[in-house]
């Protein structure tokens, strides 16, 4: 626990206070330079190079065993790289002890002390490093207010819900005023409704603390898309994609990224012929289609056309549009949306739309439309899922 509640820079202080403390904005970024981590000669993090800018939220996502948690633990100092360096701000912390890295950490199982009240848990890190009593008296209620837990200060963890316990854990991490906040699957133990509420709280918290740098590890793509400025996608210990959330979602650089970050329809196409304004003509079987060639794929090659389920429509598009014919395989109603799965020339396509009064029956023919601007081409040969 002490390693998770390290000495911190005054991220919640005023600019004047930070200046007096000798802290500048550049001191809170994170940088991985060719970092490799191995357990018993098995490489679990392979040559990771990544920069998290000061004040940014970066989410690392990927399946189990992809290396995302190892990357976070390397920043915390709980694992030592086989090679490479890790920096926080301008300081190389590769060989610095965890308690001296100026980080706060929140894990998925809360890790609160059961015998301590909420306010005592929040104060723990401050007491451990000898903070004056007046600082503790001021900072503990301040942090509890920030996470909406001021009225629960006297309660023990057993008297709090899972979401409330996680708020206390976040307040404890913030009380020490970290340069960097590490979040390791912080919402995975919460039910769906509480998770949505906590996502809103974390977004609000970062707006209140814009200088705080956050590295967020999750397997949940919704959390990453909701919170992160940039997203890194991990697979087999490697970083296979990195970019701002919207660009990575709209223009995934490879098949694995398209399928992992959001649902994606992927069709094999050929005969790329670039047109104006970054568009390209391709063929899917006998059908001619137009899509964005955002990655500048060369003419004449094979690639994949990626279009998201919510970008497929049952009526023609107003702009430059594409149309494909398919056969309905299934229709699934989910309250405020309907999912339609189709067979299009032997390939499964999924369409998400508002509930239909008379949905098509399985086996019925159906024409689907999508705008050229809402489809993008990605390499066929890179990282097949």
| Gap between the Cα atoms of 333 and 246, Å rounded | 27
* CATH classification at residue 371: 2.40.50.100
**261 and 245, same domain (yes or no):** no
Looking at 205, 228, 250, the residue that finishes a domain is 250
| Gap between the Cα atoms of 260 and 59, Å rounded | 14
| Gap between the Cα atoms of 213 and 162, Å rounded | 25
Task: Give the total number of structural domains in the chain.
Answer: 2
**167 and 263, same domain (yes or no):** no
Tell me which residue has tokens 């024409």.
367
**222 and 245, same domain (yes or no):** yes
Q: CB pairs under 8 A, 24+ apart, for 65-68?
A: 65/236, 66/234, 66/235, 66/236, 66/237, 67/37, 67/234, 67/236, 67/237, 67/238, 68/217, 68/232, 68/234
**196 and 330, same domain (yes or no):** no
pLDDT, position 198: 86
**237 and 266, same domain (yes or no):** no
**222 and 349, same domain (yes or no):** no
For residue 106, the enclosing domain spans 2-250
C-alpha distance from residue 105 to each of 54, 126, 198 (Å): 17, 14, 16
Question: Whose CA is closest to 291, among 328, 266, 260?
Answer: 266
pLDDT, position 187: 87
**36 and 156, same domain (yes or no):** yes
**342 and 240, same domain (yes or no):** no
pLDDT, position 276: 76
Residue 102 lies in a domain: yes
Looking at 250, 278, 313, the residue that finishes a domain is 250
pLDDT, position 104: 92
Strands 103-107 and 180-184: parallel
pLDDT, position 318: 67
Looking at 250, 284, 309, the residue that finishes a domain is 250
* CATH classification at residue 213: 3.40.50.300
**246 and 268, same domain (yes or no):** no
Measured in whole angstroms, the distance separating CA 31 from the mean position of its chain's CA atoms is 17
* Angle of CA points 319, 324, 326, to nearest 5°: 145
| pLDDT tens series, the chain, 385 aa | 333 333 333 333 333 333 333 334 456 899 999 999 999 889 999 999 999 999 999 999 999 999 999 999 999 999 999 999 999 999 999 999 998 998 999 988 878 999 999 999 999 989 988 889 999 999 999 999 989 899 999 999 999 998 899 999 999 999 988 989 999 998 887 888 888 888 888 898 888 888 899 999 998 888 999 999 999 999 999 999 999 999 999 999 999 999 999 889 999 999 888 887 789 999 999 999 999 999 989 888 899 999 999 999 988 876 678 999 999 999 998 888 899 999 999 999 999 998 888 888 999 999 999 999 999 999 976 544 3
pLDDT, position 381: 63
pTM above 0.75, yes or no: yes
**38 and 170, same domain (yes or no):** yes
How many residues make up the chain in this entry?
A: 385
């Amino acid at each position: 626990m002490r390693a998770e509640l390290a000495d911190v820079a005054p991220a919640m202080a005023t600019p004047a206070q930070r200046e007096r403390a000798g802290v500048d904005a550049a001191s809170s970024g994170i940088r991985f330079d060719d970092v490799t981590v191995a357990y018993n000669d098995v490489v679990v993090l392979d040559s990771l190079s990544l920069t998290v800018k000061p004040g940014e939220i970066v989410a690392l996502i990927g399946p189990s065993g992809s290396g995302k948690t190892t990357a976070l633990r390397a920043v915390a100092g709980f694992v030592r790289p086989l090679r490479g360096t890790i920096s926080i701000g301008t300081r190389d912390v590769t060989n610095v002890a965890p308690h001296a890295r100026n980080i706060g950490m929140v894990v998925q199982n809360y890790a609160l002390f059961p015998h301590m009240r909420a306010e005592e848990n929040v104060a723990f890190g401050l007491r451990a490093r000898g903070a004056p009593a007046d600082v503790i008296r001021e900072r503990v209620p301040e942090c509890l207010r920030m996470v909406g837990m001021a009225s629960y200060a006297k309660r023990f963890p057993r008297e709090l819900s899972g979401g409330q316990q996680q708020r206390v854990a976040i307040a404890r991490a913030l009380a020490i005023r970290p340069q960097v906040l590490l979040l390791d699957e912080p919402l995975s133990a919460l039910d769906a409704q509480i998770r949505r509420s906590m996502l809103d709280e974390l977004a609000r918290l970062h707006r209140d603390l814009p200088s705080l740098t956050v590295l967020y590890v999750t397997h949940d793509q919704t959390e990453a898309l909701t919170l992160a400025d940039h997203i890194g996608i991990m697979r087999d210990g490697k970083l296979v994609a990195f970019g701002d959330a919207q660009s990575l979602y709209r223009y995934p650089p490879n098949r694995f990224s398209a399928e992992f970050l959001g649902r994606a329809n992927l069709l094999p196409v050929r005969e790329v012929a670039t047109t104006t304004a970054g568009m390209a003509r391709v063929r899917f079987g006998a059908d001619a289609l137009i899509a964005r060639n955002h990655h500048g794929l060369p003419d004449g090659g094979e690639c994949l056309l990626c279009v998201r389920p919510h970008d497929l429509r049952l009526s023609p598009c107003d702009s430059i549009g594409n149309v494909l014919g398919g056969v309905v395989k299934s229709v699934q109603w989910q309250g405020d949306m309907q999912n339609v799965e189709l067979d299009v020339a032997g390939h499964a396509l999924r369409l998400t739309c508002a509930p239909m009064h008379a949905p098509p029956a399985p086996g019925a023919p159906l024409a689907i439309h999508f705008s050229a601007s809402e489809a993008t081409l990605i390499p066929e040969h890179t990282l097949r899922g």
